[in-house]
Amino acid sequence: MTTTLRNPVLALAVALAFPAAGAFAQAAAPLADWPRIASPIAKDAALEKRVAEIVSKMTLAQKVGQMTQPEIKTATPEDVKRYYLGSVLNGGGSWPNGNKHAKAAEWLALAQRYHEASLSTDMAIKVPVIWGTDAVHGHNNVFGATLFPHNIGLGAARNPKLLEEIGAATAKATRASGIAWVFGPTLAVVRDDRWGRTYESYSENPDVVKSYAGAYVRGMQGMLKDDANTVATAKHFIGDGGTENGKDRGVNKSTKSQMINIHGVGYYPALAAGVQTVMSSFNSWNDVSTGTDYGKMHGSRAMLTDVLKTKMGFDGFVVTDWNGIGEVPGCRNDSCAQAINAGNDMIMVPDDWKAFIANTIKQVESGEIPMSRIDDAVTRIIRVKLRAGLFDKSPAQNAYAGKDEAMQPRELARRAVRESLVLIKNDKPVLPIARGKKILVVGKTADDLSNQTGGWSITWQGTANVNADFPNGDTILAGIREAAGSNNVSFSLDAKGVDVSKFDVVVAVIGERPYAEGDGDIGPNGTLRHSGRHPEDLAVLQAVAGKGKPVVTVFVSGRPLYVNDLLNLSDVFVAAWLPGTEGKGVSDLLVAGPKRYEFTGKLPFSWPKSACQTELNVGDKNYAPLFAYGHGLKTTTLSKVGKLDATYPAGGCGISNTFPVFSQADRASFPLTIRSGEQQLVLGADLNSTFSLPGVTVQTSQVNTQQDAKLVTWSGPATIEARGARAMVLPAAAGKDAALRFDTIVSNAPAGKVTMAMGGGTLDATGLFKNLAGKGKQVVRIPLSCFQAKGTDLAKVEAPFSVTSNAAFAAAFANIEIAGGAASEAGAVKCEELK
Ligand code: BGC
Ligand code: BGC
C-alpha cells in the first residue's frame, strides 16, 4: 500500500474527516474503483475466537436456521427454538398478535419470548435471535410512536447533525419495543421521481446522501455499546434509485463510474461509520456501456462478495430483501443456492421458510452450496450479534424496554419538520400569518395524519389508517388552530359553499395519498401531473382562488410533481413532503407565534416544469427545471413566479404503446369494481380487505410479486371490471394489432358461462378459462379485433376489462393492460376460440 492521497482508503478518510458538525461535504473527485473502507468497529481477536468456537459446535440444521429470517406472522417462539431461527422480522403493517394498537410493552413481550426461545434450544452454545424492523421514519410500525418526516424531507434540511439525532432517537424507540435491528437507512440516490420510493431517498444529489449516511449510522449504532444503540442496515445494495423509468425492482443501466459515484456513495460513509448489515436490492444492473450484465443484485456474486465484502472490506452480514431470492432467475422463494453462493448471509423468507431450510440443507449436502460459504455466513451473523451485545442482555433488560415515552421524540421531530419545509413560491407577502387573522383552512390533507405520514406508517402502504391510529400526533390543522387561536380558524374539506370573503387568508393543505413500493410508481404512460391523479386538489384551489384573498398552498407529497395549475392558483406554495406526525412543525412556519421561525429548507430534488420532464437531475446537460435543486425562499424574499403554462399531453407521455388498466402502479386510473344484480362496490386501496357482494368475493393475492393481483371467487352471477371515469384514449396506432393482455392464475375452472366485454362488444371466454385452469400463471392476450368484430367501439371504452361469470369460477388477475403489438405475440388468443 502506498501512502499518497491517490489511495482510495486515505482519500476517503480525508473526505470523511471534514463534513463534521453540520458542514456539507464538497463533491469529491470521482472514484475510479470501489474504495476500501475501514470500519471503526474493527475485528477483535477475542470476539473472533468466540465466534469460531460457537460455529464449530453447530450442526448444519442449526447453521441454516441461523441464516433464516421468517416474518412474525408465520414463526412462533416455539418455531425459533425448534428450527434454530437466527432472526425474525415484522413486515410493514405487521404487529405483535396482529394488534395494530399494540404498545411498547406488547412488542417487548413478544421480543422477549423470541429471545428466550432462542436460548432454550439444544445447541451446544445458544445464540440469541435478532429481530429486524423497518423503522424508516421513526419506529413507524408502532402505535403511538413519533414519525419523522420521510427521508426526502430530511434531505431538504441539509443538516447531517439532525440526521445523527434522528438515528439515535429511532434506535432508542426501537429498543423500547425490544427490537435491536433496523432496516435503514435507505441510501438510494433516486434519479427518476416516478419511482414510488422516491420519498425514501434523501436526494437526487449523491452529495447529500453521502453527507447523511454516516451521520445516521453513527446516531443509530454508535459503537453498539449503549442501550440506545441498534444495528443499522444500509439498503438497498446497489442501484435501487437508478432503475429505468423509475420502475420498482427494475433495471439500472448505469455505467460502472455512475454506480460507484452516484448510487454507491452512501455506502462508503455508512461502512466507515461501522454499519453492520447491508440489504441486497431487488433491482438488476446491466452496464450497457460495456455490455456487462450483472443481473439481479440478489444473485450477484460480483457485487455482494467481490465488491462489497472483498474490495470494500465489509465484515458484517448481508440480508436479502423480502422474497428477494425468488426473483433471481431459476430460483424460488423457498430455494436459491445461487443467492447464498453470491454472498447473501441472512435470508428474508417471510412465509416459505420451512421449505427454504429443508431445501438449503439439501443443497449443502449435495455440494451445491459449499460448507465454507455457510460457515462464512454464520460467522458474520454471530459476529454482529456478539458486537451488538445480544448475548449479554435480553430485550427486557434494556434501559428503554417497554417505555412508550422512549418512542416519542416529538420536539426533535417537530424541529425536523420545520427544517424540511421548502418555500418554493412567495409571490405575495402573506407569511407568517399574524395571530388574530381569520384563516380558512381547506383541503383533504389538513386534518389527515394518514396523508401526512405517507407510506410505511403503521401499515405497509400507509393506507387504511385514520387519525386515531396516531394518538400522539398533531394534524397540520390542529397546529394552525393552536398557533392562530381556534376561534380564528375555520376548516372545510372541499371549500364548497364557503364564503371566502369572510376570511383574511386561505391555507390549502393538499397532495398525494399514501403509497409505498410498487403501488407508488407512476407507470410509463402516466405523467408527473398531480391533478390528473388528484382532481380534488385542483377543485379545492379553484374554489378558493381569485376571490381577493391570498392563498397559501401546503403541498404534501412524496416527490416533486408537475403542479403548474396549482401554483397558478396559489400566491404562496410550500413543499412539505411527508412530514410525519408533528403537524405543528408546519404551523410553526405558517403562523407567527411567540417564537419566530423562518424557512431554511432547500429542494433536495429538482422540480419539473412540464408533465413529462423526467429524468430531471442537477448536473444534467440542458438542465431546465421549474425550480432548481437547492431552491428555497425565505418569507422575506418575494418571488415572481407569475402565471405558468399548465398544459399537458392528453394521452400521457407516450413513452410506450402499452396502456395500463390495472397493475400495482396504475391502480388509480381504472379502479376495480364488482357488480352483482343492482349492487356495485368499488374496491378500495386496502390490500388486507376482502370485498364481497352476493355471488362474488375479491381478495388481494399474488401472481408475480406480493399483493400484485386480485383473486376473484364467484359462486353465482356477478361481474368484475376495471372502470375509469373517462373512456380510454387509444391512439389509432396502438389500437391496430393491440390486445387486452393480463396475467392470470385460474384456480377453479368455470362451472357455467364466462364472458368478457369491452366498449359494447362481448366475447364468450368460457372455453378460454377452462383451458387455463390449474396451469399456474398464464399470460392471456385477446386481440382487440376480436372485440371489434363483436361491435366494440374503441372510442368508448370506459371499462377495458370486464369479466362476468354466471356460476362458480375462481381466478386471480394481475398486470391488466392494453398492449400495442400484443395481438401478434406468440400465444395470442384466436378469435375463433372465443365463440
Ligand atoms: C423492502 C425493504 C424492507 C423489507 C421488509 C421490502 O419489500 O424493499 O425496504 O426492508 O421489505 O419489510
Ligand atoms: C410486507 C412488507 C414488505 C412487502 C414486500 C408486504 O406484505 O408487509 O413489509 O416490504 O410485502 O412486497
Rg (CA), the chain: 27
Inside any domain, residue 3: no
Ligand 2 geometric centre to CA of 516 (Å): 9
Ligand 2 site, residue 769, Cβ cutoff 6 A: no
The count of domains in the chain is 3
* Distance between CA atoms of residues 249 and 252, nearest Å: 9
| Cell numbers found for residue 474 | 398533531
Report whether residue 91 contacts ligand 2, using a CB cutoff of 6 Å: yes
Question: Is residue 183 in contact with ligand 1, taking CB distance under 6 Å?
Answer: yes
CB 751 within 8 A of CB 807: yes
Q: Which DSSP letter does residue 431 get?
A: P
Which of 313, 377, 311 has the alpha carbon at shortest distance from 339? Answer: 377
Q: Which of 192, 321, 334, 565 is catalytic?
A: 321
Same domain? 209 vs 125: yes
Domain end residue (candidates: 356, 376, 405)? 405
* Three-state DSSP state, 572: strand
Q: Which ligand is nearest to the CA of 321?
A: 1
Cα of 794 to ligand 2 centre, how many Å?
38
Q: Which atom of ligand 2 is nearest to the CA of 687?
A: 7
Please pick, among 106, 165, 448, 517, the residue that the annotation labels catalytic: 517
**Boundary of a domain, candidates 361, 381, 405:** 405
Please report whether residue 391 resides in a domain: yes
| Ligand 2 lined by 630 (C-beta under 6 Å) | no
The C-alpha cell at 265 is 456513495
C-alpha cell at 623: 438542465
Query: What DSSP state is assigned to residue 362?
Result: H
CA of 197 to the centre of ligand 1 (A): 11
Residue 18: its pLDDT value, please? 35
**On the CB side of 782, how many CA atoms lie within 13 Å of its CA?**
31
Q: Are residues 143 and 231 in the same domain?
A: yes
Nearest residue (CA) to ligand 1, atom 12:
91
Residue with the three cell numbers 390495472 = 662
Question: Which atom of ligand 1 is least distant from the CA of 183?
Answer: 10
Q: In this structure, are 762 and 665 located in the same domain? A: yes
Is 211 found in the same domain as 311?
yes
Indicate if ligand 1 lies below 6 Å from the C-beta of 460.
no
Q: Quick check: 265 pLDDT over 70? A: yes
Residue to substitute in 181, 319, 322, 349 for testing ligand 1 pocket (most ligand atoms within 8 angstroms of CB): 322
Looking at the CA of 249, which ligand is closest? Answer: 1
Task: Report the CATH number at residue 675.
Answer: 2.60.120.430
731 lines ligand 1 (CB under 6 A): no
Residue 322 CB–ligand 1 contact under 6 Å: yes
Q: What is the pLDDT of residue 708?
A: 83
**What pLDDT score does 8 carry?**
40
93 CB near ligand 2 (under 6 Å): yes
**668 vs 675: CA distance, rounded Å:** 19
Query: Using a 6 Å cutoff on CB, does residue 183 contact ligand 2?
Result: no
- Assign 40 a pLDDT band (cuts: 50, 70, 90): very high
Regarding the beta carbon of 706 and ligand 2, being less than 6 Å apart is answered yes
Based on the fold, state whether residues 109 and 232 are members of the same structural domain.
yes
Residues 6+ apart with CB under 8 A from 5: 11, 14
CB of residue 517 inside a 6 A radius of ligand 1 = yes
State the average pLDDT over residues 67-74. 98
Residue 376's contacts (CB-CB under 8 Å, 6 or more residues apart) are 345
Q: Is the CB of 134 under 6 A from ligand 1?
A: yes
Residues 473 and 329 in one domain: no
Residue with cell 456513495: 265
Q: Which ligand has the nearest atom to the CA of 279?
A: 1
Least confident among 3-7, 33-37, 110-114, 630-634:
3-7
> Do the domain assignments include residue 23?
no
Ligand 1: residue whose CA is nearest its atom 2: 321
Q: Is 321 in the pocket of ligand 1 (CB under 6 A)?
A: yes
Tell me the CA–centroid distance for residue 479 and ligand 2, in Å.
33
460 within ligand 2 shell (Cβ under 6 A): yes
pLDDT digits (tens, 9 = 90+) for 525-547: 689 999 999 999 999 999 999 99
Confirm whether 321 is a catalytic residue.
yes
**Of the bound ligands, which one is closest to the alpha carbon of residue 458?**
2
Ligand 1 pocket test target in 197, 321, 327 with most atoms within 8 Å of CB? 321
Domain assignment present for residue 647? The answer is: no
pLDDT, average across residues 149-157: 99
Residue 797 pLDDT > 90: no
Mean per-residue pLDDT over the chain, rounded: 93
Side chain identity, residue 376: D
What's the gap in Å between 94 CA and the centre of ligand 1? 12
Over residues 507-516, the mean pLDDT reads 97
CB-ligand 1 contact for 128 (6 Å cutoff): no
Residues 771 and 399: their CA atoms lie apart, in Å, by 62
Which among 495, 502, 501, 513 is positioned nearest to 441, based on CA atoms? 495
Same domain, yes or no: 452 and 352:
no
* 355 Cα to the center of ligand 2, angstroms: 20
Residue 151: is its pLDDT beyond 70?
Answer: yes
Q: Does ligand 1 lie within 6 Å of residue 599's CB atom?
A: no
Grid coordinates belonging to 498: 364557503
Are residues 206 and 313 part of one domain?
A: yes
Pocket test for ligand 2, best of 281, 706, 707, 708 (most atoms within 8 A of CB): 706
Q: Distance, CA 181 to ligand 1 centroid (Å)?
A: 13
- Report the percentage of the chain scoring pLDDT > 70: 93
Indicate whether 114 pLDDT > 50: yes
Q: Which domain holds residue 706?
A: 659-833
92 lines ligand 2 (CB under 6 A): yes
In a domain, 163, yes or no: yes
For residues 622-643, average pLDDT: 97
Nearest ligand (C-alpha, residue 708)? 2
401 and 445 together in one domain: no
Q: Which among 88, 349, 460 is the best mutation to test ligand 2's pocket, defined by most ligand atoms within 8 Å of the CB? A: 460
> Distance between CA 667 and CA 164 in Å, rounded?
37
Concatenated DSSP letters of 32-71: SSPPP---SS---HHHHHHHHHHHHT--HHHHHHHTEE-B
Ligand nearest to the CA of 235: 1
Tell me which of 136, 322, 323, 349 to substitute to probe ligand 2's pocket, judged by most ligand atoms within 8 Å of the beta carbon.
322
Task: Please tell me the residue having the least CA distance from ligand 1 atom 7.
Answer: 322
Are 383 and 424 in the same domain? Answer: no
What is the predicted pLDDT for the residue at 666? 46
* Residue 20, pLDDT score: 34
Residue 776 in any domain: the answer is yes
Say whether pLDDT at 651 is over 70: no
Indicate whether 455 and 570 sit together in one domain: yes
pLDDT at 437: 98
Tens digits of residue pLDDT in 179-191: 999 999 999 999 9
Say what the pLDDT of residue 665 is.
52
Which pLDDT score, from 0 to 100, does residue 22 have?
A: 34
Domain C-terminal end among 549, 567, 590: 590
- pLDDT of 663 strictly over 80: no
Give every CB contact of residue 362 below 8 A, 6+ residues apart in sequence.
none
Closest by CA position to 429, among listed 635, 290, 689: 635
Place 560 in a pLDDT band, splitting at 50, 70 and 90. very high
Q: 434: domain CATH number? A: 3.40.50.1700
DSSP sequence for 199-210? GGSS-SSHHHHH
Q: How far is the CA of 322 from the centre of ligand 1 (A)?
A: 6
CA of 181 to the centre of ligand 2 (A): 17
Map residue 601 onto helix, strand or coil.
coil
Does 610 reside within a domain? no
| Alpha helices (H) along 40-159 | 45-56, 60-66, 77-83, 104-118, 151-157
DSSP secondary structure letter of residue 147: B
pLDDT, residue 776, reads 93
Closest-lying ligand 2 atom to the alpha carbon of residue 705: 12
- Give the ligand with the smallest distance to the CA of 704: 2
CA of 322 to the centre of ligand 2 (A): 7
Does the structure show a pLDDT above 70 at 631?
A: yes
Phi, psi of 71 (to 5 degrees): -90, 150
- pLDDT beyond 90 at 95: yes
> Are 119 and 393 contacting, i.e. CB atoms less than 8 angstroms apart?
no
Domain membership flag for residue 58: no
Q: How far is CA 514 from the centre of its chain?
A: 10
CA distances from 247 to 244, 518, 742 (A): 6, 8, 19
H or E, element range at 747 = strand 739-748
Kindly give the number of the ligand 2 atom that is closest to the alpha carbon of 518. 12
Same domain, 360 and 506: no
pLDDT band for position 796 (cuts 50, 70, 90): confident
Compute the average pLDDT of residues 13-25.
37
Distance 285 CA to ligand 1 centre (A): 19
Phi-psi region of 259 (alpha: psi -120 to 50; beta: other; left: phi over 0): alpha
- pTM, full prediction: 0.85
CA 800 to chain centre: 29
Q: Which helix (H) or strand (E) holds 355?
A: helix 353-365
